Amino acid sequence: MQEVLILSLGAGLVFSLAALFDKFALENKMANGHAYFFLQLTTAMIFFPILSTLIFGFEIPSLPAAILIFLSTIAANIGFWLYFSLVRDYDLSSIGPLTQTKLLFTIPLAFFVLKEFYGYEAIILMGLILVGAIFTTYSKSFSLKALLLDNRLLFLALIMGVSWALSDLPVKMVAGEISSSSFITWRYLFSVPVLLVFGFFMFKGKTKKTFFKDLKKTLPFSLTSTIFVFTGTFLLFTSYALSYTITSALVLSQAIFVFIIAFVISKVKSRLIDERHSNKVYLVRLAGVLLIISSIYFLMNGNLVL
């Protein structure tokens, strides 16, 4: 499981860098979440297959595997669409904790579909990692009461979590047949019809206007984010092939890296991203970081997942 730990932490690190570039782009370059979704999907759709094929080669999956990858593509893009929709309609402090809900569905899916089960102690520790990740998204404006009373926000966030959990499940299911790099290639090749469908129904009005108006100034950040996401996705999918459940928990370490990097940036270049908070907020987030680190330590050193 040491390989899973290294791969998951590596994925968490590069995903945190991608998240910070996305945050900066959404705050300063292209404020429309749906427009940014189309830009991200387009750049990934173009560059992921090219990079993956040049570096790792090209494989053709069997029909059953291709169907699973296609379903994975649909689920992933539904999740990202909902995420950027929430970014557009709600404060980031409200949706931050809800982006972690994927793990709630990963554990039962892994048990019933993949027959992965590491015992109740491991589940408790993974739950603590989830709690820690939620703590790292805490902000002064966050209100648990308001969150629980907003049925639309909760419903969309839960659908987002289910979509992301389902989108990654096929990675383990086809691991013996096709490599992680080829899975990435085919997922984004299959994104072409998904993009066309989304574009037909959604790429209009303000979204379309903002996309073309802000395209030039946003593209460098989108491309940089795409490279980080490509690297993180490769590491993540390689780890999924070893353990879908444990990887899903360990990749929440992304919260640690986001906390550290954002804190440093806020002190050195505070105008780059809006991450200036009170001491109370930093203490709660630090508590979340320490909870994640200690839970990962006991999970990986307690002979629970060997």
Residues in the chain, overall count: 306
- Residue labelled with tokens 């570039």: 21
| 90 lies in some domain | yes
| 173 lies in some domain | yes
Domain coverage including residue 181 = 2-301
* pLDDT score at 214: 95
Whole-number Å distance between alpha carbons of 195 and 209? 17
Q: What is the pLDDT of residues 33-91, one digit of tens each?
A: 889 989 998 998 888 898 889 888 889 999 999 999 999 999 998 998 888 777 666 65
| 188 lies in some domain | yes
Q: What is the pLDDT of residues 209-227, one digit of tens each?
A: 999 999 999 999 999 999 9
Within its chain, how far is the Cα of 169 from the centroid?
A: 14
Q: What is the mean pLDDT of residues 92-108?
A: 74
| 258 lies in some domain | yes
Whole-number Å distance between alpha carbons of 32 and 15? 21
Q: What is the mean pLDDT of the chain?
A: 85
Instruction: Report how many domains make up the chain.
Output: 1
Q: Which amino acid is at 28?
A: N
Which of 25-39, 98-112, 223-237, 292-306 shows the lowest mean pLDDT across its residues?
A: 292-306
Asked if residues 215 and 80 have their Cβ atoms less than 8 Å apart, the reply is: no
When pLDDT is cut at 50, 70 and 90, the band that residue 275 belongs to is low
Residue 14 parent element (H or E): helix 2-28
| 306 lies in some domain | no
